[in-house]
Structure 1
Amino acid sequence: MKQLILIVTCLLMTHVAISQQKSQIYAIKSGHVEYQLSGNTTGTKSVWWDNYGNSSFTETKSLSVTKMFGFKSETKTHDISIIKGGKFWSANLIENTGQKGTIPFQDITDNMTDAEKKKMGKDLLESFGGEIVGTEYVLGNQCEVVKLMGATCWIYDGVTLKSEAKILGIEAIETATKFDKNSSVSSSKFTPPSGIDYEDQDKYQQEMFGGMSDAFNDDAYDDGDDEAMDLVPVKYPYEKFQKIANGFSYDNYRKLMVMNSEGAYSAMFMKGMNGNLAVSATSRQNGNPDHEGNFETFTHSGKKCMYGKMKDDEDDEVNSLIVELSNYDTYIILISNSVQTKAEMLQLMDEFNF
């Protein structure tokens, strides 16, 4: 339950972070915030940052008390998390264990204008049923009040000064008691502590966030060379892909994001809380899905198509439709966990009209 509350709060913060200028998490260059924690979790949280949030240090000392079905549990935490240079470290100072890795989707807005970033943040918030409900003051600062799935955040220039969440009877409240803007923060603050057994998360993150084009960059298309294959950039114009994705409106799907990652394009959509739809574009030179051996090949609207199953990172099979755009030497790939038939997949592809 605590993880669910954190996810909701992060979504609220992401809406604002996407709307900030390129490479900025906060609109304030440096600062320090002290929080009081209340609700089922009591304690303190301290945050320091520099370089508009690209370097940050967070320390939390808390006691969480949960009562469910007549049972009571208590959990003490003393955690820190550090972000610096596109990397992250998190540590449990009670058990001396932690994780480290690379922050995914760092360049998600690199090719967007400020207006497109703001629209993406708004679309992301609305796709999860959230809304901006007004403004209120916290510690004398006028904050944007954002609500989503039982949680509310008061956000000033990207910095959350207050948050309240109550989900299934579990309440978590964070209230800023001290807020120093543009204060000097020593670079040593962002040095990960030694003596921690860090588990490297980069392998798992690559599996989760490697991009839809990774489906063509696996052992099925290996030519025996152990070195990783360099992806060939797609020839289909990104501006055209972006326009089609932004204009897609069908069957209550809501757009989450559109991005250009090293020459491969992706767009993500959601329907409710469980249905998802991904569409991507990759060069045909990056692999031939026929090698997978379980695709039905046919022609639809004058284009060569392939329909079948692809395995995701959990080894589960998901419905996939691949359309060949021969004039651009490009595959358009459609993957969904909420569409069950070939006819439905073709209807979705027709709605995109690549």
Structure 2
Amino acid sequence: MGKIRYILIFLLVGFVDLFAANRYNIKSGIVEYEIIGNTEGGAKGDTISGTSKLYFKDFGNLELTDERIIQTIMGEKEEERTISKIVNEKLLTVDFNDEVIYSQKLVLDEENPIQNIKTYEAFIQMGAKNLGTEEILGYKCEVWQLGEDKIWVYNTVPLKQVSQSLGIVQIQQAKFAVFNIDIKDDKFKLPSFPVKPIEEIIGDGEGEFPNISPEQEKMMGEMMKAPKK
């Protein structure tokens, strides 16, 4: 699932560039999340569990997310770890299976609001509905609904998200959060894997996606040929 997941992540993002804007209204922070989920219509016992850690400073112009997921399907467990790092307008994603780091220009992710700049104006522009406020860990959060997804944000930092995608319902909620603190540089260190531009991985057209079905290959080829917004 690893390689397919990485390809889909990069193909499903929107095409609106992130210009020189702060990602958060807070200078720095550490947030630790618990992740739980299940597969709709799946067998009894199909579950998703895991953790995620968010480190950021310079208002999010330097950010690292370290996510560990355990997915159980029909009694079989699959573990996956993903590290993503943002440095200004560059996104670096670590693939531990192939021991490579994918590099691409940072863009707004229209399929995953947790990756976007989460100001009140941005949510309104995306067509999100404000559901009021709710406290998480003592922080007063704005609650927004965008499609089937809901997100709780404190000063633009997500503290909870409920998302539905590809038949999977997933809840990610902060269990620890602290802001405006000094964070050591080693928290943003990546493994010493080679860095490759994502264009080298997804290729220029059909027939270049490894280990996926012809239907998936055709779908991704069509998505790549679609005009940019």
Would you identify which runs of 4 or more consecutive aligned residues in structure 1 move more than 3 Å? 71-74, 117-121, 166-169, 202-205
The reply to whether residue 44 of structure 1 matches residue 65 of structure 2 is no
Match of 2:92 in 1: 89
Match of 1:198 in 2: 195
Letter in 1 for 2:87: K
Would the alpha carbon gap of residues 87 and 166 (structure 1) be closer, same or farther in structure 2, given more than 3 Å must change? closer
The size of the alignment, in residue pairs, is: 182
Contact 2:95–2:102, Cα closer than 8 Å, also in 1: no
Offset of residue 154 of structure 1: 0.7
Match of 2:151 in 1: 153
TM alignment of 1:1-354, pairs within 5 A: 23-40=21-38, 41-66=48-73, 74-104=77-107, 119=121, 121-124=123-126, 126=127, 130-167=128-165, 169-194=167-192, 196-201=193-198, 314=225
By percentage of residues, which structure has more helix?
1
Contact 1:83–1:89, Cα closer than 8 Å, also in 2: yes
2:132 and 2:177 map into 1 onto residues whose CA distance is 21
Identical columns (%): 24
1:198 and 1:92 map into 2 onto residues whose CA distance is 10
Unpaired runs of 5+ in structure 2?
39-47, 109-118, 205-222
Equivalent residue of 2:26, what SS?
Answer: coil
Deviations 1:95-114 (A, max 9, x none): 41331122247xxxxxxxxx
Would the alpha carbon gap of residues 120 and 35 (structure 1) be closer, same or farther in structure 2, given more than 3 Å must change? closer
1:44 and 1:36 map into 2 onto residues whose CA distance is 5
Offset of residue 62 of structure 1: 1.2
Calculate the aligned-residue CA RMSD, in Å: 3.7
1:86 and 1:50 map into 2 onto residues whose CA distance is 14
Letter in 1 for 2:103: K
1:64 and 1:178 map into 2 onto residues whose CA distance is 23
2:122 and 2:37 map into 1 onto residues whose CA distance is 32
Between 1:175-184 and 1:84-93, the stretch displaced more is 84-93
Q: Pick 1 or 2: higher relative contact order, CA cutoff 8 A, min separation 6.
A: 2
Letter in 1 for 2:72: V
Letter in 2 for 1:198: V
TM-score by length of 1: 0.44
Larger radius of gyration: 1
Contact 1:84–1:190, Cα closer than 8 Å, also in 2: no
Match of 1:252 in 2: none
1:102 and 1:166 map into 2 onto residues whose CA distance is 26
Deviations 1:267-301 (A, max 9, x none): xxxxxxxxxxxxxxxxxxxxxxxxxxxxxxxxxxx
Deviations 1:285-323 (A, max 9, x none): xxxxxxxxxxxxxxxxxxxxxxxxxxx962x7x8xxxxx
